Structure 1
Amino acid sequence: IQQCFVVLPQKIQLSWPEITRQNKPWSRWWWPGSIVNPADITTNLETYKAAGLGGMEVTCIYGVKGQEDKFIDYLSPKWMEMFTHVLKEAERLDMGIDLANASGWPFGGPWVKPEDACRNINYKTYTVSSGQKLTEKIEFRQMPIVRPVGQKPDISSLNYPISKNRNLQLYAIDQIKFEKPLPLYSVVAYSDSGKIINLTGRVTSERDLEWTAPPGNWTIYALFQGWHGKLAERAGPGGEGDVIDHFSGRAIDNFLKHFDTVFKDYDLRSLRGYFNDSYEVDDASGQADWTTDLFNEFYLRRGYNLGDHLPALFRKDDPEKNARVLSDYRQTISDLILDKFTSHWTHWANKQGKRTRNQSHGSPGNILDLYAASDIPETEGSELTKLKFASSAANVTGKELISCEAATWLNEHFISTLSDIKNAADLFFLGGINHLFYHVTCYSPPDEPWPGFLFYAAVELTQANPLWNDFKALNKYVARVQSFMQQGRSDNDILLYFPIFDRFADSGRRMLEHFDAISPAFRDTPFKTAADLMLSRRYAWDYVSDLQIRNTEVNEGMLQTEGNIYKTLVLPGCKYIPLETFGRILKLANDGASLIFYGNIPENISGWADLEEKNYAFVQLKEKLDFRETGSKDILRQNWEKGVS
């Protein structure tokens, strides 16, 4: 270990920063069935305070069997009475409180109407030839499915929508689809000579197609919009219901209006902020891969009509066209979850003076942008290359706090040790995380027999755990580390471009790909190799997205992002990159920034719109690159005399 000694004047005294509640570790506070009362809330909070916790995140989950008579419905007047008592007592104890914006996860509840619930797309194809009429009905029936965690119900005995049923705690349903005909979304015919005809208006109420095929052989694509059926997982009483459509601004706005209505008569000034758990909408059968306004949103963002290219969307056209149209579709979904969901939610919270804490991982979009759109990005896991997605987004955009769901499921209950938890915490610190949330402290009445109320995926940081008596020592350590990390700013040197468009263009098995860590799909790519190499050689670096690059400038040879400065940008070899991104990167280099092409220069531009024109511009940019020998093996240097912009 290297040591550095500095002689200071005697009058200067170094002192440890004052430890605040924000410096201390916080913990998720599961409320099973919301079986709480004021006296026990106070007792628990005082115990948590004494153990060195700085705050709690309240999240309601499914209830405890045999205690149904004590359940309190989520967001009911009685529940709000309990929650405001939490806020008052936490303020008295100098503790912070966050609130999950749903009971369980993801965002959903009984007030989510079918038109705002998460959707999927289904399609059927039909073939006709010149002069023929289609004799088949244009229809699609959704098949039933029910996935409970508890007792399996007879789906035929359940009412639609699911929120109309009683005793939902008995079933703890994660996903349900009722058998029914799906509404028609679009019908388009494609001829073997390249002609396209929209036939949506030719379908009768009896689902007959009133159309005679013109000359040629025709393939008809009929789209049907269905319901993904995902419900809020592990929701507590009063919180069971459909998950929202994350690609619809109307859906999130209607969802949050319910909170506005419930909260309007209560004093929530001491509430710090709201929490959103990881995107697990598709932790189910199938995917939520559509939204009602998708065709319009796609046209506004990509500049062409997706309905004219359905064979490519469903991978039935030329492979290169399939890749480009699919990439545009996935980019649009990424845009929608950013613009319609995450940004809407953060704006709603900020208007109240609250912060959002968001687990973006698992989303079908660029998680760097989704993390950056929240006030406190939050990660989880045990891989540095995964943790750095959240910390990179915060560093690049200048955010104060980066949180984590820490020690989620290190081992079976009561087996994990304090050293296990410390090792997990240290890894988060190495990943740039400075605001730990333990997973989990489960609410339990003080007089509940051992082991009290527990949650299955948890290290069980409760009074029932033998390590509780020494828990305070670990929390002191975490608080001291975080007290320094939170007052500083990251000083990483390198930006590593995240080549998400290579994944957007990959056929895959499903419509959407979800982004979490560096997935196995990146194995043996220059991107993963560069990340692993820089970690092994102790370089300090952050990921950077296309959007963040577009917001980057050059200042005295340094890369100036929205919230930080960097020395170098690494562009790993990739197959696809947006023309705007590539042009911006070369302009940054031409303006004096240090740029490293690692592996190879990007091969193609992404997307389908204006392909010939954009490809010409892309080739022109690449032709301006003039690399010269440096005398070092495998290293070439750009000749900047003629520039590249």
Structure 2
Amino acid sequence: MFYPSGKPFARWWWFACEIRRGDITAQLEWAQANGFGGVEIAWIYPPRGERPWRRLYPDITPEDEARRAKAAPWLSSEWTEDVVFAKAEAIRLGLGCDFTFGTLWPFGDSQVAIEDASRQFVVDGSGTAVFPLQEIDQSWEMPLKGRVIDHLNRDAFARYAARITAALRPALAGPPSAFFCESWEVRSETLWTEGFEQDFMDRYGYDIRPYLPVLWAPGSDPDTRHDYLALLSDRIIAHFYQPFADHARAVGAFSRAQVAGAPVDMLHAYSLIDVPETEAMLFEPAFSRIVASAAALGGRTEVSCEAFTCIYGFPRWVPDTHQFREEVGDLKLVADALLAHGVNQFFWHGMPFTPDGTSLDFHFYASVHLGRNEGALSGSAKGLNAYLERVCPLMKRGRPYSDVAVWLPLEDGRMELDYPPERQIPGASHPYELRYVQAPEELAGHQPLYVSNALLRGVPVVDGTLTVGDAVFQALYVDVKYLAIEGLETIVRLAQDGLPVILKQVPLQPGRAKSPRYAALIAQLRRLGIHGDFRQTVPWQPLVRAADGQRLPDHWARVLAPNDILVFFAHPHAQDLAIPMEHGRAARCPAAERSVLLSPDGVRQHKVRLPFAPNQSLLVRVRPSGVEFVEIVYAPTA
């Protein structure tokens, strides 16, 4: 494990200003005193004061310019010296210290060469193809603009990584640090790179270029869009996420990354990362099941979360984000919802670098506010951290429980155009992001994990069981409208080899090239007796079943040993959390009671009463011999 203590970390926003050694020490000492296990340094733009965050430049004040002028040049020796000092101080204080692998997001800076820059395929008014570059306009280097690296070109990543690593290498001494990759945030609708058209032609047999200008227009061909996104996924994984993870390990670091938002097979990409990371609340807690599934499939123990981002709504989207007035009880409610979807390591979002004697104009716009004697959380974070330090190591023990694999609807997301307006939030519009995928209701209590074809190819079925990484499945549940032929071939093979398969609907083949073999494969499944009746196919009892007719609380289970299982039950009030969350929701969280049947071996059952105190969750250990409650009580105070 990379974070064995389970103590939360804090994202530490380093603004482009003078970074004084005394301030570094003081803030790290504050983090240690308040129960943090470490920090992740994230280099961002100059302090912006109270002006709207997208209008920092050219609206610069003399005070802003004076601050910016004192910032060490990006990746300079002075910059490195500050980072090395911070890492050394963290070690002295027993803290971890991770590094965002660049300035702001996505990866890139002013030193990215034109040939290494991300570009779009665009047709101008004369019908000529042009390739505008993607720029970074807010970063440590402001007002200088940077270029986003080409995520479809591993050589571009290698050149970028060499520069960043050269500046960070002196700070890699001591305990391992993570190189962190933030959420995607790259314009992807017509993402392009040299040679893409030939790769596309080789795979699909037609020229994609005439279709790109209208690929996302209303009424556009979904099969063409599917083909584009499928190749894009493979390129991004092979040329960016895999090299990123490999590079981190090669230089003595480890990788932590958010794949959320990328147009990729998220299970495949996330499974490559040492510590896959979700985020909340821009991605709601239920999304974390995808990330936790990838961790299990890749044999990764830890699932981290950028926690408490925009908990009360995104700036400019809601009238009041309640920044500096966050309620720690609300944060606990979100944390419990995340724990109940597989998260077991938290990164507070976040703690701004605040020079001594400055005011709250050193703050980050989209996060809760941590800092010395500043904001509502200055005196209450310690209690929540102690709670998470207690629970998270327990939820890293053993392996995640699951007996049913669920096919992730990747192709469904690629075939759809846009989310309806009511489901769109800042930065989210396309269904390929899978933001709102929910586990099937009839699988409640089985703790299903998602799978995709990339992670099942060649995996054998042994005695009716499919083992992938740390995940162990006795059945496969498929309920998708569209399914690529390669996935259908895998499902047929698994069924032939003895894995019980539930097919809820007959899928269609996506993409422009339709194979005559597709119908034959569907017929083969029918001959094998595959159907959609889940209970007939899976006759055994789920791990958790409602005994009182009420909806099951969200929960997450870890297998400590055969038939020895730890189950975290989130308070029912933590279900269905969505952005924007109501300020003070936790204060209205009542006592509740549920009655469940727990079956650690699928045969014997224990009836258990779950008495939830207000804003309290429960941790239960269940074995054939009986049930015991593990003490995790924490009562948040303002």
Q: TM-score, structure 1 length as denominator?
A: 0.71
Paired position in structure 1 for 2:581: none
CA shift, 1:385, in A, is 2.7
Structure ID, larger Rg: 1
Q: Find the aligned partners of 2:212 and 2:232 in 1 and give their Cα distance.
A: 13
Q: Equivalent residues in 2 for 1:528-607 (5 A)?
A: 528=438, 531-534=439-442, 537-574=444-481, 576-598=482-504, 600-602=505-507, 604-607=508-511
Q: Find the aligned partners of 1:104 and 1:118 in 2 and give their Cα distance.
A: 16
Match of 1:354 among 239, 248, 253: 253
Contiguous gaps of at least 5 residues in structure 1: 1-17, 125-138, 141-221, 520-526, 639-645
Q: Find the aligned partners of 2:169 and 2:351 in 1 and give their Cα distance.
A: 29
Q: Find the aligned partners of 2:353 and 2:293 in 1 and give their Cα distance.
A: 33
Paired position in structure 2 for 1:292: 194
Amino acid at match of 2:32: K
Q: Find the aligned partners of 1:555 and 1:239 in 2 and give their Cα distance.
A: 58
Task: Identify if the C-alpha distance between structure 1 residues 423 and 517 changes in structure 2 by more than 3 Å, giving closer, same or farther.
Answer: farther
Amino acid at match of 1:455: F
Task: Identify if the C-alpha distance between structure 1 residues 329 and 476 changes in structure 2 by more than 3 Å, giving closer, same or farther.
Answer: same
Name the SS for the 1:469 alignment partner.
coil
CA shift, 1:562, in A, is 2.6
Question: Could you report, residue by residue, the CA deviation over 1:272-303 in whole angstroms, capped at 9, with x for unpaired residues?
Answer: 11111111112xxx845211220233245x2x
- Determine if the alignment matches structure 1 residue 109 to structure 2 residue 109: yes
Q: Find the aligned partners of 1:538 and 1:23 in 2 and give their Cα distance.
A: 26
CA shift, 1:377, in A, is 0.8
Match of 2:415 among 505, 509, 527: 505
Q: Equivalent residues in 2 for 1:403-482 (5 A)?
A: 403-410=304-311, 411-445=321-355, 447-451=356-360, 453-463=362-372, 464-482=374-392
Match of 1:242 among 143, 147, 151: 147
Contact 1:60 1:236 in 2 (8 A): no
Paired position in structure 2 for 1:256: 161
Paired position in structure 2 for 1:373: 272
CA shift, 1:567, in A, is 2.2
CA shift, 1:557, in A, is 1.6
CA shift, 1:226, in A, is 1.0
- Determine if the alignment matches structure 1 residue 394 to structure 2 residue 295: yes
Paired position in structure 2 for 1:279: 184
Task: Identify if the C-alpha distance between structure 1 residues 451 and 312 changes in structure 2 by more than 3 Å, giving closer, same or farther.
Answer: closer
Amino acid at match of 1:23: G
CA shift, 1:312, in A, is 5.6
Paired position in structure 2 for 1:169: none
Name the SS for the 2:102 alignment partner.
coil
Task: Identify if the C-alpha distance between structure 1 residues 346 and 398 changes in structure 2 by more than 3 Å, giving closer, same or farther.
Answer: same
Bigger drift between 236-245 and 389-398 goes to 236-245
Question: Could you report, residue by residue, the CA deviation over 1:125-159 in whole angstroms, capped at 9, with x for unpaired residues?
Answer: xxxxxxxxxxxxxx85xxxxxxxxxxxxxxxxxxx
Q: Find the aligned partners of 2:243 and 2:523 in 1 and give their Cα distance.
A: 39
Paired position in structure 1 for 2:242: 343
Paired position in structure 2 for 1:51: 34
Q: Find the aligned partners of 1:637 and 1:390 in 2 and give their Cα distance.
A: 27
Paired position in structure 1 for 2:629: none
Q: TM-score, structure 2 length as denominator?
A: 0.72
Q: Find the aligned partners of 1:337 and 1:393 in 2 and give their Cα distance.
A: 17
Paired position in structure 2 for 1:201: none
Q: Equivalent residues in 2 for 1:64-143 (5 A)?
A: 64=47, 65=64, 66-123=66-123, 140=126
Contact 1:117 1:227 in 2 (8 A): no
Paired position in structure 1 for 2:518: 615
Name the SS for the 1:348 alignment partner.
helix
Amino acid at match of 1:605: Q
Question: Could you report, residue by residue, the CA deviation over 1:2-47 in whole angstroms, capped at 9, with x for unpaired residues?
Answer: xxxxxxxxxxxxxxxx997641001100011143122221121111
- Determine if the alignment matches structure 1 residue 624 to structure 2 residue 527: yes
Name the SS for the 2:146 alignment partner.
coil
Contiguous gaps of at least 5 residues in structure 2: 48-63, 312-320, 420-428, 539-638
Q: Find the aligned partners of 1:23 and 1:418 in 2 and give their Cα distance.
A: 19
Question: How many pairs does the alignment contain?
Answer: 499
CA shift, 1:389, in A, is 1.4
Contact 1:32 1:236 in 2 (8 A): no
Q: Find the aligned partners of 2:486 and 2:45 in 1 and give their Cα distance.
A: 47
Amino acid at match of 2:110: P
Contact 2:152 2:193 in 1 (8 A): yes
- Determine if the alignment matches structure 1 residue 306 to structure 2 residue 170: no
Q: Find the aligned partners of 1:450 and 1:239 in 2 and give their Cα distance.
A: 26
Paired position in structure 2 for 1:641: none
Name the SS for the 2:246 alignment partner.
helix
Task: Identify if the C-alpha distance between structure 1 residues 505 and 68 changes in structure 2 by more than 3 Å, giving closer, same or farther.
Answer: closer
CA RMSD after TM alignment: 3.2
Name the SS for the 1:468 alignment partner.
coil
CA shift, 1:546, in A, is 1.8
Q: Find the aligned partners of 2:518 and 2:257 in 1 and give their Cα distance.
A: 37
Q: Find the aligned partners of 2:83 and 2:184 in 1 and give their Cα distance.
A: 25
Contact 1:118 1:288 in 2 (8 A): no
Q: Equivalent residues in 2 for 1:162-177 (5 A)?
A: none
Task: Identify if the C-alpha distance between structure 1 residues 91 and 637 changes in structure 2 by more than 3 Å, giving closer, same or farther.
Answer: closer
Q: Find the aligned partners of 1:265 and 1:470 in 2 and give their Cα distance.
A: 35
Paired position in structure 2 for 1:36: 19
Q: Find the aligned partners of 1:233 and 1:62 in 2 and give their Cα distance.
A: 6
Name the SS for the 1:559 alignment partner.
strand
Contact 1:120 1:288 in 2 (8 A): yes
Amino acid at match of 1:407: F
Q: Find the aligned partners of 1:396 and 1:404 in 2 and give their Cα distance.
A: 18
